[in-house]
A and B are shown apart, each in its own frame.
Chain A
Amino acid sequence: MREIETGVLIIGGGVTGSGVLRDLALRGIRCLLIDRRDLNAGASGGNHGLLHSGGRYAASDIETAAECIREGNILRRIASGAIDPCDGLFVAIEGDDARFADAFPRHCAAAGIPCQALSSQQALEREPGLTDRIIAAYQVPDASIDPFRITLANVQHARLLGDNDFLPHTELVGFEKSADRITAAVCHDRKHGETLRIRADQFVNASGAWSKIVAARAGCQDVNLLYSKGTLIISNARLSHGVVNRLRPPDDGDILVPGGTVSLLGTTSQNLDSLEHINPSVDEVERILQQGMQLIPELAHTRFIRAFSGVRPLLMSSGAGMDGRKASRGFALLDHEQAGVSNLASIFGGKLTTFRLMAEKTGDLVARRLAITTPCTTADVPLPEHASVRWTEPGFAARHWYQRHDESDAILCECEMVSKCVVDDIIDRSPGHETDMTLKAIGLRSRIGKGTCQGAFCGMRVTSYLYDRRFYQRHNGLQHLKNFLEERFKGIRPVLWGEQMSQIELAETMHCGLMALDLLPKPDTEETAPSADDP
């Protein structure tokens, strides 16, 4: 069994776990982050990328709303490169509850959110795609944020600060305990089929929707979560200048968020019992569009390229019952001392917008337990802007390529214009890089597979390039390609109409008709047989 030792083991490579990693690293505490899959594999990667002004929660949850505006302002300062300060509108249309709309500025004021009333004319000038049936419109400081860049930068920063790192595809299997202390985490390396023992002083459970399961492995039954599945769809082109919110009690297609050169529309809310097989459905897409079109009629003729789903790990609160929309967006930090464990902390609930605060509170607890007095500095120290964590930004790789004018640097992904040197950089330097890195892992750290063709061309080209580099050998590359395409297809399936149907017919012709990828023999050893769901 392989042994690793670290100061603090953080379980869960989402934005919160990576935030804790950076928080502790900045305090000089040695730490290690693990995830059973990869960075942002859960809710951190399955969301709008919306940096909430707090307006969304102003009416129902003033505490979360106030937290959002405060944390949003901090993130604009420390992570400006990952944020598009595009502002947002809250718009009520004919048929919506006028009293709910009228109360909006009052609720915003109470939460400290700047809110400016706009006339219909002003709202339409700002967002020409809006319906003209507007009855109220307000402008708030919403923004869009790239959650992948944030997480990658958190990890990269921690790595630069000391002996801190991230291990992908490392699943917590159990804890070894001595009295009230956890002494080691027993993990399963899902890629290599190995068992791994990680010894540490302190353990942090930041595994989002999986927090309850992880805490239970330490014998703690005190994490209570509501799982709420949310589905979103991505358009091929950006549809609005800024964020557009429907001003009413939340429903399925209420928020349109620009994400660089595309837009994201959602979100549905559906309670779940299990965290397995979370895929978007045609029904959900239908509901999102039906709702969204009321606010932005052109959505009826918009090309969508993919749908995706995430699971919100929501705090169970009294009063909300089982309604995910009414559940608190607040977060909880448990020290598990009442459950008889003295060196495990669980941080769960919360929002992408408040991840830094969640990490700070967790870091404070861990530091106190380690008797380290160095305060948190994440509100002041900017996140690093290294190129190796910027490849997820739409157009960044393209401009980089264009400016370099290097004829030998061939473009591999044509949709997003990602060249060979980006793939080289990712497999050599990106957080979580390793030998035989999967196509999916490379895609997560770049724009590969995220464009119009959804991996149809770039998948084959990147795979070929990695075979040329002898990075892939034997059947591994083909298997990675197949897994990558199957993963993409889960998201494409519910939006198959119009141009995207032509796109996928073409992909099918290439992948099945030409390459016979569908007939790829099933590999017989675990090492060469990562399933599509695996790292």
Chain B
Amino acid sequence: MNKATARDDATTVAAPLDFKARARELLPSGANYDACLACGLCTSGCPASGFDGMDPRRFIRMAMLDMNQELATTPWVWTCTMCQRCAHVCPMHIDVSVLVGLARSAWPDENKPKGIVRSCEAQMRFEGTSAMGLQTEDFVEAVQETVEEIHQQDPRFSDLEAPINKQGAYFFVNQNSREPATEPEELGPLLKILDYVGADWTYSTRGWAAENFCMFTGDDEKWRAMVEQRVDAVNQLGCKVWLNTECGHSFYTLWKGVERFKLQANFEAESLVTWYARWIRQGKLPVNADWNHGGLKFTVQDPCQLIRKSIGDEAADDLRFIVKRLVGEDNFIDMQPCRSANYCCGGGGGFLQAGMNPQRRAYGKRKFDQIESTRASYVVTPCHNCHSQIEDIGQFYAGDYRVVHLWTLICLSLGILGDNECRYLGPELASLISTGVSSDA
């Protein structure tokens, strides 16, 4: 509440957001802004601290000082990736990201970062909900071409299928648009893995896309519309599990969206990471690290959206279990901090698409330094935004590492990786494929 005069003046125009009051409504009691100790743990662990003179503590303090106009207009809210590390380390468990989302919503669409707004608009346009504007027929065609290529390339997969709209399949598998739109050869490994474990699964023509930029615009209605469409598609096909691809925010957006918008989902939302680990434990994916005789070092980027914001350290444990099996216990080096305390890479929250490259790379410097100090040759991450950002900062800061998906390493280990599926491998690993060294399955 501000001075009475200011309040009266303000009522003559649109009622401004009252951040302190909204925090009281949206955050649990005992963890609202009133509980802040001003200790700054949030701020010292936030890679967005300092942009535009802002940081998470300042966001809270400004709300407490009724600086609503400033909070509703600071561009800092687009450099905060809403990764929730601040909430994770806060002794009072205050979640700043909730109100950052609200601040984003206060921006007129024409002033929001265009990349995020356009991606959301694209998603709203077609039933497939692809943020890259990829239409369903193009997606289906890319999948079919991939299936045909696999049939031709590898006789072991001559029966491989990629079912579409298979009623009653156990898994509804979604797909990040990046593969069908720009790198269809990356579709193959997952298809092979699903075939290898004998999964009962399907793609869908509706709501097949994973990504959700509408959530990043701060527009709750659009976030809801996206999730509703996808939930409905899964319900219609009667699948038991919505299996999310190697992607962070797409898991969070649906899992959280169902709860937030109180949607009726007749299925469980689960991550590929969980299932990779389960299939390995069940012996369905008999991976080993024999191929890594050179002792290449690997580290892991825990996607904030998947680990800290959704499943928790259980998924971080699964991720490490998978990677250690794949590369060898001794060849795995964790970043510090990691798991639920991990730093966001700077690719989240729509930052990659926001067109703020200098800030995004400055943000990512902390991640780059973390990676460099592990001296790993490869960063494994089950997240597309992490993947792109970590590649980008690696190039920008002249790092000496590569970034890979789990599916690439799984297929590599099983000896089923095609020589056209090595896009993210370095020559030392790609050569294993062409010389057939790893083909011991």
Residues on the B chain within 8 Å of A503, using CB: 37
Pick the most buried of A236, A398, A456: most chain B CB atoms within 10 A of its CB: A398
0/1 interface trace, chain B 12-25, chain A, CB 8 Å (1 if under): 00000000100000
A237 touches B67 (CB 8 A): no
Task: Let me know if A237 and B70 touch, CB within 8 A.
Answer: no
Tell me whether A87 is interfacial, beta carbon within 8 Å: yes
For B66, list chain A residues within 8 Å (CB).
261, 395
Q: A277 within 8 Å of B by Cβ?
A: no
Contact B4 A242 (CB under 8 A): yes
The stretch of B53-61, B114-122, B228-236, B361-369 in contact with A is: B53-61
CB-defined contacts of A242 to chain B, threshold 8 Å: 4
CA distance A85 to B7 in the complex (A): 11
Q: Is the CB of B5 within 8 A of A506?
A: no
Give CA–CA (A237, B3) in the complex, Å: 14
Most chain A CB within 10 A, of B65, B70, B91, is at B65
Within 8 A of A (CB), among B60-94: 61-62, 64-67, 70, 91-92
Flag whether A522 is at the interface (Cβ < 8 A): no
**Is residue A453 within 8 Å, beta carbon to beta carbon, of the partner chain?**
yes
Instruction: Report A-chain residues with C-beta under 8 Å of the C-beta of B38.
Output: 414-415, 451-453, 456-457
Q: Which of B4, B61, B62, B91 makes the CB contact (< 8 A) with A85? A: B4
Contacts of A524 in B (CB 8 A): none
A177 proximal to B (CB < 8 A): no
Q: Assess the B65–A238 pair: CB atoms within 8 A.
A: no
A405 proximal to B (CB < 8 A):
yes
Interface string of A247-276 (1 = CB under 8 A from B): 000000000001011000000000000000
A100 in contact (CB, < 8 A): no
CA distance A452 to B66 in the complex (A): 15
Complex CA gap A232/B61 in Å reads 24
| Chain A residues in 8 Å Cβ range of B33 | 237
* Of B4, B5, B35, the contact of A303 (CB 8 Å cutoff): B35
In the complex, whether B36 has a CB less than 8 A from a CB of chain A is yes
**Does A417 contact B65, Cβ atoms closer than 8 Å?**
yes
Does A417 contact B1, Cβ atoms closer than 8 Å? no
**Nearest chain A CB to B107 CB, angstrom units:** 18
The smallest beta-carbon distance between A226 and chain B, in angstroms, is: 34
Closest-by-CB residue of A relative to B35 is A499
* Chain A interface mostly: loop
**Listed residue (A84, A241, A414, A499) with the most chain B CB atoms within 10 angstroms of its CB:** A414
Q: Contacts of A241 on B, CB cut-off 8 Å? A: 1, 4, 7
Within B122-154, the residues touching A (CB, 8 Å) are: none
In whole angstroms, how far apart are the Cα atoms of A84 and B67 in the complex?
Answer: 17
Chain A residues whose CB sits within 8 angstroms of the CB of B437 once the complex forms: none
B40 at the interface (CB under 8 A from A): yes
Q: How far is it, in angstroms, between the C-alpha of A288 and the C-alpha of B57 when the chains are bound? A: 32
A residues 375-417 in Cβ contact with B at 8 Å: 394-395, 398-399, 401-402, 405, 407, 411, 414-417
In the complex, residue of chain B having the shortest beta-carbon distance to the beta carbon of A510: B39
B53 close to A407 (CB less than 8 A): yes
A86 touches B (CB below 8 Å): yes
Q: Considering the chains assembled together, what is the distance between the CA atoms of A506 and B65 in angstroms? A: 23
The answer to whether A399 touches B67, judged by C-beta atoms less than 8 angstroms apart, is yes
> What B residues does A119 contact at CB under 8 A?
none
Question: For chain A residues 279-311, which have a beta carbon within 8 Å of chain B?
Answer: 301, 303
A506 to B92 CA separation, bound complex (whole angstroms) = 12
B34 x A303 contact (CB < 8 A): yes
CA distance A416 to B20 in the complex (A): 15
User: Within 8 Å CB of A87, what residues of B?
Assistant: 4
* Complex contacts, B37 vs chain A, CB 8 Å: 452-453, 499, 502-503, 506
Residues of A within 8 A of B91 (CB): 502
Q: Give the contacting residue for A417; candidates B35, B36, B61; CB below 8 A.
A: B61
Provide the bound-state CA to CA distance between A55 and B61, in Å.
35
Residues of B contacting A86 in the complex (Cβ-Cβ under 8 angstroms): 3-4
Given known pairs A237-B20, A241-B1, A241-B4, the reply for A398 and B34 (CB within 8 Å) is no
Nearest-neighbour CB distance to chain A for B53, whole angstroms, equals 7
Selected contact of A84 from candidates B4, B29, B40, CB within 8 Å: B4
Report Cα–Cα, A499/B31, bound state, in Å: 10
Contact call B92/A261, Cβ cutoff below 8 A: no
Name the contact of B92 in the complex, choosing from A301, A395, A502 (C-beta under 8 A): A502
- Alpha-carbon distance between A456 and B39 when the two chains are bound, in angstroms: 9
Q: How far is the CB of B75 from chain A (nearest CB, A)?
A: 12
Q: A399-B70, A407-B53, A506-B37 are in contact. Are A414 and B58 (CB under 8 A)?
A: yes
- For the complex, what is the distance from the CA of A405 to the CA of B52, rounded to whole Å? 8
- Establish whether residues A417 and B62, one from each chain, have CB atoms under 8 Å apart when the complex forms: yes
How many residues of B are counted as interface, with CB atoms below 8 angstroms from the partner's CB atoms?
Answer: 28
Q: How many angstroms from the CA of A47 to the CA of B341 in the assembled complex? A: 46
Interface size on A, residues (CB 8 A): 36
Of chain B, the residue at the smallest CB distance from A503 is: B37
| Identity of the chain A residue whose Cβ is nearest the Cβ of B36 in the assembled complex | A452
Give the contacting residue for B61; candidates A414, A499, A506; CB below 8 A. Answer: A414
List of B residues within 8 angstroms of A417 by Cβ: 58, 61-62, 65
Q: Quick check: A405 and B5 within 8 Å, CB to CB?
A: no
Q: Which residues of A contact B57 (CB under 8 A)?
A: 414
Contacts of B39 in A (CB 8 A): 453, 457, 506
Q: For the complex, what is the distance from the CA of A452 to the CA of B62, rounded to whole Å? A: 13
How far in angstroms is the closest Cβ of chain A from B3? 5
- Write the chain A residue with the least CB distance to B43: A414
Nearest chain B residue, comparing its CB with the CB of A87: B4
Bound-state CA distance A452–B61 (Å) is 9
**C-alpha spacing A457/B5, complex, angstroms:** 33
Give the distance in Å from the alpha carbon of A417 to the alpha carbon of B36 in the complex. 14
Closest Cβ of chain A to B145, distance in Å, is: 53
The answer for the CA separation of A236 and B39 in the assembled complex, in Å, is 15
Are B65's CB and A261's CB within 8 A?
yes
A530–B222 Cα distance when bound, in Å, is 62
A372 to B348, CA, bound (A): 74
Task: Write out the residue numbers on chain A whose beta carbons fall within 8 Å of the beta carbon of B67.
Answer: 395, 398-399, 402
Question: In the complex, which residues of chain B have a beta carbon less than 8 angstroms from the beta carbon of A453?
Answer: 37-39
A303: chain B residues within 8 A (beta carbon): 34-35
Q: How far does the Cβ of B210 sit from chain A's closest Cβ, in whole Å?
A: 39
Q: Which residues of A contact B64 (CB under 8 A)?
A: 236-237, 261, 415, 452
Which of B3, B7, B29, B57 counts the most chain A CB atoms within 10 A?
Answer: B3
B230 CB to closest chain A CB (Å) equals: 39
B104 CB → nearest A CB, Å: 19
State how many angstroms separate the Cβ of B351 from the closest Cβ of chain A: 22
Query: Which B residue's beta carbon lies closest to that of A303?
Result: B34
B40 close to A414 (CB less than 8 A): yes
Query: Are B92 and A84 closer than 8 Å at their CB atoms?
Result: no
Q: Which B residues lie within 8 Å of A398 (CB)? A: 61-62, 65, 67
A402–B53 CB distance below 8 A: yes
B336 CB to closest chain A CB, in angstroms? 23
| Residues of chain B with a CB closer than 8 A to A405's CB | 53
Q: State whether A236 touches B34 (Cβ < 8 A).
A: yes
Binding site for B on A (CB under 8 A): 84-87, 236-238, 241-242, 258, 260-261, 301, 303, 394-395, 398-399, 401-402, 405, 407, 411, 414-417, 451-453, 456-457, 499, 502-503, 506
- List the 3 closest A-B pairs by CB distance, nearest first: A86-B4, A395-B65, A84-B3
Complex A-B: 22 CB contacts under 8 Å:
A84-B3, A84-B5, A85-B3, A85-B4, A241-B1, A303-B35, A394-B65, A398-B61, A398-B67, A401-B53, A402-B62, A402-B67, A414-B38, A414-B61, A417-B58, A417-B62, A452-B37, A453-B37, A456-B38, A457-B39, A499-B37, A503-B37
18 additional contacts, CB 8 Å, given A303-B35, A499-B34?
Answer: A84-B3, A85-B3, A87-B4, A241-B4, A394-B65, A398-B65, A401-B53, A405-B53, A407-B53, A414-B40, A415-B38, A417-B62, A452-B37, A452-B38, A453-B38, A457-B39, A499-B92, A503-B37
Name B residues whose Cβ lies closer than 8 Å to a Cβ of A. Answer: 1, 3-5, 7, 20, 29-30, 33-40, 53, 57-58, 61-62, 64-67, 70, 91-92
